[in-house]
Amino acid sequence: MTKKPIILLIEPDEFLADIYEKNLTMNGFKVVSSKTGEKGFVLAQTKEPKLILLEVALGKENGFDVLARIKGNKTTKNIPVIIITKLGQKKDVQKGLELGALDYIIKIHFSPSELVDKVKRVLAGN
């Protein structure tokens, strides 16, 4: 039996987190989730996810700060990060990509199933 790839979901919105988690789980992924950047960063270090899905609007620590910490840490720097957020301004997209995000997805433009397809493509190396 092969081990399911772990996806770390850092998303404060419980409703959305639940939808994403269900879609990813149905497609063969194991999802570990966090509502906060702080806990998400700890999970990134301890759970060895294959990919991190990160919301920018997190509360006291924004997703850009979390992304900078992930990319600045020797344990987590090589984990691909996809930002999934409602913040779609060009400066936000640019900042996310400059900080090392692999991609920047604006939630209203992507359905949960399209997100799963994106995760599959990234993990397949496409």
116: in domain: yes
What would the two tokens of residue 68 be? 């900078």
78: in domain: yes
- Cα separation, 26 vs 13, whole angstroms: 20
44: in domain: yes
40: in domain: yes
Q: What is the CATH number of the domain that holds 46?
A: 3.40.50.2300
Q: Taking 90 as the threshold, does the pLDDT of residue 61 lie above it?
A: no
47: in domain: yes
- Cα separation, 34 vs 32, whole angstroms: 7
How many other CB atoms are there within 10 angstroms of residue 48's CB atom? 13
72-94 pLDDT, tens digit each: 999 999 999 999 998 888 999 99
Side-chain half-sphere CA neighbours of 101 within 13 A: 24
10 phi and psi angles, rounded to 5 deg: -110, 100
- Cα separation, 14 vs 77, whole angstroms: 27
Question: Using an 8 Å Cβ cutoff, are 53 and 7 in contact?
Answer: yes
Longest CA–CA separation in the chain, Å: 44
β-pairing, 51-54 with 81-85?
parallel
5 phi and psi angles, rounded to 5 deg: -65, 140
Q: Given this model, what pLDDT does residue 60 score?
A: 79
11-45 pLDDT, tens digit each: 999 999 999 999 999 999 999 999 999 999 999 99
21: in domain: yes
Number of domains in the chain: 1
Domain that holds residue 41: 6-124
99-121 pLDDT, tens digit each: 999 999 999 888 989 999 999 99
What would the two tokens of residue 92 be? 């936000």
Q: Bridge partners of 82?
A: 53, 103
1: in domain: no
111: in domain: yes
